[in-house]
Amino acid sequence: MKHVNGQLLLIGVIAGLTAALLVLGANAQPSFSSILYAASALPVLIVGLGWGNVAAIAAVATAAIIGAIVVSPLFAVAMAVFTLLPAGWLSHLANLARPASEIGGPDDLMAWYPLSDILLHLCALVSVAVIFLGVMIGYGPELTGQMIDVLIASVADRDPTLAADPASIEQIKGMMLLLLPIVQGGMWVLMLFAAYYIAMRVVSASGRALRPREDLPSSLRMNRNATYVFLAGIVACFVGGVPALIGATICGTFGAGFLLAGFGALHLRTRGKDWRLPVLVLAYVSAPMVLPAFIILVLGLADTRRTVALTPARKAETDNSRS
């Protein structure tokens, strides 16, 4: 059993305090709320990737306790489900390693948990979080209908010529009912993965990283099993009712995972090409549009794999001893 020292706990408490302040700042600044909420995962990821599970657990517990005291226990639960627990779990998975010989590799190397599986876990965790949020706020046709009615009434007050007919309003309500969980789930996967990437760069630059830095263009892919989950989500969208809402959430989260994988495949396929820079710039600039994003998503669907990072066993064991 590893010895738990006060320094690890102190580092975790400081990280948890930072995460809680970022979440509270998101409540105070609605215009930057999404960015600040996603940034609150950074302290937990940094201490988890650099100092191990004990520091990450301390950070999650500290942030949750502060949220419960300052706001409410329900707020602390929501904060934990959305950012703290996913961040702690991702850092835990990233630090998992075993001898490469156990998976048919060389005896003198260590194999690290595949990035494709980490991304799969992220999509699943965000799916659960978005569904949990939907249950908390009572998300459904009534809530979205009220939102659309208020929005349309506001537009009509400003310009009566833009008033929509009842049939169009009902179509908008039906579309938004599924579109909101798709967008919410997809954006949250992208933001949390960006936080993971930034945290990995920070701990690698500081020399504290337990996991070696990987070549993302070759390792950033989705697990093959994620394809079946994504297809099941698409089918559920046509069922209607609660299954459709769950399916829309899965489409958004796992679709974002395949979108990230598509960008990884695009980076790999353009490596060494003279036209690499303009193609990548065009891809990133046009990604917010539906058709370019769909093409990149298809690239991710077409290239699913589990790439395992390998490092010398002695170095891996030395690094892990710091946790």
pLDDT averaged over every residue in the chain? 87
pLDDT tens readout for residues 57-94: 999 999 999 999 998 899 899 899 999 999 999 999 99
Is it the case that residue 13 has pLDDT exceeding 60?
yes
Flag whether pLDDT at 268 surpasses 80: yes
CA distance 29 to 251: 29
Q: Which tokens belong to 275?
A: 């036209």
Residues 269-290 have pLDDT tens digits of: 999 888 999 999 999 999 888 8
According to the model, what pLDDT value does residue 313 have? 67
In the prediction, which pLDDT does 163 show? 66
| 8 Å CB contact between 166 and 60 | no
How far is it, in rounded angstroms, from Cα 82 to Cα 245? 18
Q: Which residues sit opposite 111 in a β-bridge? A: 98, 310
User: What band does 159 get if pLDDT is binned at 50, 70 and 90?
Assistant: low
**Residue for token pair 């179509």:** 171
Contact 195, 41 (CB under 8 A): yes
- Identify which of 225, 281, 286 has the alpha carbon closest to the alpha carbon of residue 257: 225
Query: From CA 301, how far away is CA 322, in angstroms rounded?
Result: 38
Model pTM score: 0.89
The two three-digit tokens of residue 190, written as one number: 């992208």
Q: What is the pLDDT of residue 315?
A: 46
